[in-house]
Structure 1
Amino acid sequence: MAELKAAMAALAGKNAAGTPMSEAATTPKPLTPSALSAHPSWFVPPHLLRLPAVRTAAFAAHDCSRAACANPQDFDCVYRYGLTLQELAGRLGSQPADQLALLNQAAEVYLEASRLAGDRHAAVLYNWAVALTDIARLVQAQEPEEAYECLTAAANKYAQSLAVQSDNPQACNNWGLCLQSLSSLRPPAERPAYLHHSLSKFRRAIRLRPDFDRACYNMGTVLYAHACALQEALLASQEQAEAAQLTAVASGSGRQGSLPLSSPTAGARGGGQQLAAERAIQSTFAHAAQYISLAYAMQPGKQVYADSLSAVQRLLPLPWLRSGPLLAVHPQTAGTLGEQWVSCWFALDHNGLQAVRPPTAFAGQHGLPSAPLPIGYELGDVADARRVNDPSLPAGAPFWLGLQSKPRGVYLVAADEDDAEGWVDAILLLSHLRRSGRLGGIKAALAVR
């Protein structure tokens, strides 16, 4: 790993000891044929050439290594060698030591290929990031700090790749997975920030490609894991509070004139906070189930999606995919100078978005009317959906629906950004499923069992 660490230090503008270097010192020197020949790591280990299972891939990498040594300034030769090394490593699943050696070598080769391309070749940067991520996976158990360095470098490579080619949904998805892996190596207090950035990458991937079922599924699983962590934290907090109360009772049992442990006001406040926390957890579980259900609808034949749907379907607000309070313009005042905004409970399914009667637990809250207002938008009428930033709209997180029947569209306001983004994702993906004639999967996912 010494070569990889040195390369990563150089990219950060530091020498191997971690001290800053001059600009001249950070410029990689071109590799000459003699230098390559003297570098044994730039050749395929001979014993791999004798393994029948990888013989073809090993000889392809061997041929590419000779071509790269003969033409060290030829970008195509060097880059092709990196690709063959990475492919060979992928075929050695039961030999992690050889895998690690080949991936380290591939990372060095990609460093040189990137230099030859002026550090502006999206595919090189992308494959370099994949190699670094695979290295992190192999070393994480024994060397978590090294894994963290590799994942950080991989995240930077994905960012650089997308800066060159911004419309690559696979790079966005991989970047999200990389950030998720990074979060597991950080203290609990730092993980929410990684989670937020991870979700933003998955979201960008599905906005670029609405049929990207894997990115949609990844978003659901990350949200589900986050909801479980929130639930565990709440339970731990409750246990600590109960233990503290028992200790206080025991220590104050013999005192005369001792004050009560809590007042009715404090108890109500604590109960309100706990209720809010429980509802936030329930909402996060429902959001996770939304994305897993949509992934299943895109590819109902994938067993992992079907199994996951069975586990989370009960978390959905059935028979809806998504539901919750939104601010909307009262239909009687729409289009007038005195538009009146009202809070309504909206629900979304394969037919569209409509105001419905709120659940009993939410009746009378958020200013919700007892009877639903006649507000609804058919899915077939939805042409677009996006977040907006308009100071003339009510406080909250607004988003816009582009409708074929209303060229100017309509605005709705969610409680916060995460809620608004969830609505937009659900509407866009359901619209895509409808246009592609694949609503059968979501109908099955929303069927009450």
Structure 2
Amino acid sequence: MEQPRGPKPADRPGFRDGARKSSPPAPADVDVVVEEYGEEEEEEPPRSATAKQEEANAALGAEGSRPFTVRELLGEIKEDVEAAEADGEGNGTVSADVEGSLTSQESMQQFSSHHDVAMDLINSVTGVDDDGRSRQRILSFAGKRYVNAIERNPDDPDAYYNWALVLQESADNVEPNSGSYKDTLLEEACKKYAEATRLCPTLYDAYYNWAIAIADRAKMRGRTKEAEDLWKQAILNYEKAVQLNWNSPQALNNWGLGLQELSAIVPAREKQTIIKTAISKFRVAIQLQFDFHRAIYNLGTVLYGLAEDTMRSGRPDVSTNDLYSQSAIYVAAAHALKPNYSVYRSALRLVRSMLPLPYLKVGYLTAPPESHAIAPHSDWERSQFVLNHEGLQQVDGSDQPLSQLPGHMDRVRKLTRIAVADIISVAASADLTLPPGAGLCIDTIHGARFLVADSWEALDSWLDALCLVYTIFARGKSDVLAGIITG
């Protein structure tokens, strides 16, 4: 059989029915605002600071030398540039007075060779269009400001951090075919981030953006030993960023992406462990922000890759069907949250048949009698449950959903049914009164409902699916999910 071309970084989604295998597109990086997907309902947050830190700074009235986001940096510097150009009589040049106020010629001559190299680099970036050139002029202007700040105070971590941001953003403006030049800019940015974190070891944003810069350098090197070393460095920096700010789904998502990329380079014996770690990072990112569609989609792609690897290895202890089905759930959820994204739409076409249609998820849970929630353990029954856009419902021994059973209206009172609109929260439960297994508590407007999954791994799958369905409902996208699973 012809071997399909693999996705990046995980290998090949496809169909289990013997059709030709295809692969979903590459995972979605949170640190890159993707513009080719179509209409955007909202803009991704800037990669240089978390909302939590921005809110804290606003609440404290923080000013002065605090780290800027890229958007703030460019906005402030743009005003200075426009004022400077006005003083230069509109000829696009910076007046001598303003230039001198930022950095005197004498001060420039005192720059170390390290600073000279970096300034020469960003001054050589021309951009690919008028907007790019304008943006780069602002970045060049900003670079002089932060170099001058470092000259005045070599122990200012924020100046190094902002200088690194300028270099990193300049690398984004480099012509696509100038790989080595872009890599040099990123390398200089990494040196500045390293110095910023040496001076301030708790600077979360520096570790986060440093990791992004290293990852960008690794991507230029393909699947080489040098790329492997760079991915390992990026992963360590993402880990440090998460240690400093555990409530950062973006850092966790990027950490997972780094692990996913690394898994494609390391020897096969190491791959499974790295992939499972990547899955855990994506899952935690989603649990922090259940509408984080990029992490949701990335989890779907990595699960698909794991299913493909498992199928090729012929491991009898793992169900590839379950892995394929789980992968399809996350891809479907990402598409439901962002139906205009062509990447998600294309991936869904490839994996939709792996869902237990017309449901999103089918599996087994142990439930008490519907009329007696605190019944003895002996009265609890393990049975099949189905989940769709409307809610979770129990299936009787005939393995048919309630709506397809004769006289099903009489059975509704006996079998568990939880409407998604009634859900308040979903969580694991360690209640000691529950039967053996992994406890699940679904709090509803009618009271708490308890169920038990076969294992903690199975419970994670149910928790994610229920929370995703509820999030899609809360975002007003249930009709999109209904269209996916009912066709």
Shorter-chain TM-score tier: 0.7 to 0.9
Judging changes above 3 Å, is the alpha-carbon distance between structure 1 residues 189 and 41 closer, same or farther for their aligned structure 2 residues? farther
1:393 is matched with which residue? 434
Partner Cα separation in structure 2 for residue 200 and residue 164 of structure 1? 18
Partner Cα separation in structure 2 for residue 149 and residue 47 of structure 1? 26
| Maintained 8 Å contact 1:49/1:59 | no
1:138 matched to 2:199? The reply is no
**1:195-210 maps to which residues of 2 (within 5 A)?**
195-210=275-290
1:421 is matched with which residue? 460
Among candidates 69, 75, 85, match of residue 167 of structure 2: 85
Q: Could you say which structure has the higher helix fraction?
A: 1
Judging changes above 3 Å, is the alpha-carbon distance between structure 1 residues 35 and 121 closer, same or farther for their aligned structure 2 residues? farther
Deviation at 1:390, TM superposition (A): 4.6
**1:34-73 maps to which residues of 2 (within 5 A)?**
37-39=112-114, 42-45=117-120, 49=124, 51-53=126-128, 55=133, 56-57=135-136, 59-60=140-141, 62-64=143-145, 66-71=147-152, 72-73=154-155
2:425 is matched with which residue? 384
Among candidates 185, 188, 194, match of residue 111 of structure 1: 194
1:286 matched to 2:369? The reply is no
Amino acid at match of 2:313: A
Amino acid at match of 2:302: V
What RMSD, in angstroms, separates the aligned Cα atoms of the two structures? 2.7
- TM (normalized to structure 2)? 0.69
Partner Cα separation in structure 2 for residue 41 and residue 394 of structure 1? 69
2:308 is matched with which residue? 228
1:297 matched to 2:336? The reply is yes
Gaps of 5+ in 1: 1-31, 238-272, 362-370
- TM (normalized to structure 1)? 0.74
Deviation at 1:334, TM superposition (A): 2.1
| Maintained 8 Å contact 2:359/2:486 | no
Partner Cα separation in structure 1 for residue 236 and residue 218 of structure 2? 14
| Maintained 8 Å contact 1:41/1:105 | no
Deviation at 1:437, TM superposition (A): 1.6
Amino acid at match of 1:66: V
Amino acid at match of 1:306: R
| Maintained 8 Å contact 2:147/2:163 | no
If asked which structure has higher relative contact order (CA below 8 Å, sep 6+), I would say 2
1:173 is matched with which residue? 253
Alignment size in residue pairs = 362
SS at 1:323's partner residue?
strand
SS at 1:45's partner residue?
helix
Give the structure with higher Rg (CA). 1
SS at 1:195's partner residue?
helix
Among candidates 228, 233, 236, match of residue 148 of structure 1: 228
| Maintained 8 Å contact 1:64/1:84 | no
Partner Cα separation in structure 2 for residue 159 and residue 34 of structure 1? 39
Amino acid at match of 1:127: N
Q: Report percent identity of matched pairs.
A: 29
Deviation at 1:86, TM superposition (A): 0.6
Deviation at 1:115, TM superposition (A): 2.0
Amino acid at match of 1:421: D
Judging changes above 3 Å, is the alpha-carbon distance between structure 1 residues 308 and 40 closer, same or farther for their aligned structure 2 residues? same
Deviation at 1:400, TM superposition (A): 1.9
| Maintained 8 Å contact 2:286/2:295 | yes
**Structure 1 residues 64-92: Cα deviation after superposition (integer angstroms, max 9, x where no partner):** 45325423222332111100111111222
SS at 1:383's partner residue?
strand
1:323 is matched with which residue? 362
